[in-house]
Amino acid sequence: GAGVSQSPSNKVTEKGKDVELRCDPISGHTALYWYRQSLGQGLEFLIYFQGNSAPDKSGLPSDRFSAERTGGSVSTLTIQRTQQEDSAVYLCASSLSRRMGSGANVLTFGAGSRLTVL
């Protein structure tokens, strides 16, 4: 597609429920990132996919968080047993490549999914 698409744009859920957030990256982009933006804070790295390589999960805050990327394209971020502190905007980004020395590695971001846990 022309840009990075994320859905839903807004999600309100009750504490303890599971949620799934979807990201559809730009066609041909091999790298995909998930970031979390909490109110008044910067972007917190969550997870990164590059082609068929094992994902970098070093930013996931707990084992309630997981992500998949099927067929090297669409990605789903799943949060199980949501807590109020999970409330944030979840941003997805994609880029052509993340290899160092391969260029500026410009990330294109989606508009985000705003999650509110009551």
Query: Binding residues for another protein, per CB under 8 A?
Result: 4, 33, 35, 40-43, 45, 48, 50, 56, 59, 91, 93, 98, 100, 104-112
Cβ closer to another protein: 88 or 91?
A: 91
Distance (Å, rounded) from C-alpha 19 to C-alpha 17? 7
Q: How far is the CB of 113 from another protein (least distance, A)?
A: 10
Q: How far is the CB of 69 from another protein (least distance, A)?
A: 15
DSSP three-state, residue 113:
strand
Task: Report CA-CA distances (Å) from 95 to 1, 26, 41, 103.
Answer: 13, 8, 23, 11
99: Cβ–Cβ under 8 A, 6 or more apart, which residues?
105
Q: How far is the CB of 9 from another protein (least distance, A)?
A: 9
Cβ closer to another protein: 10 or 62?
A: 10
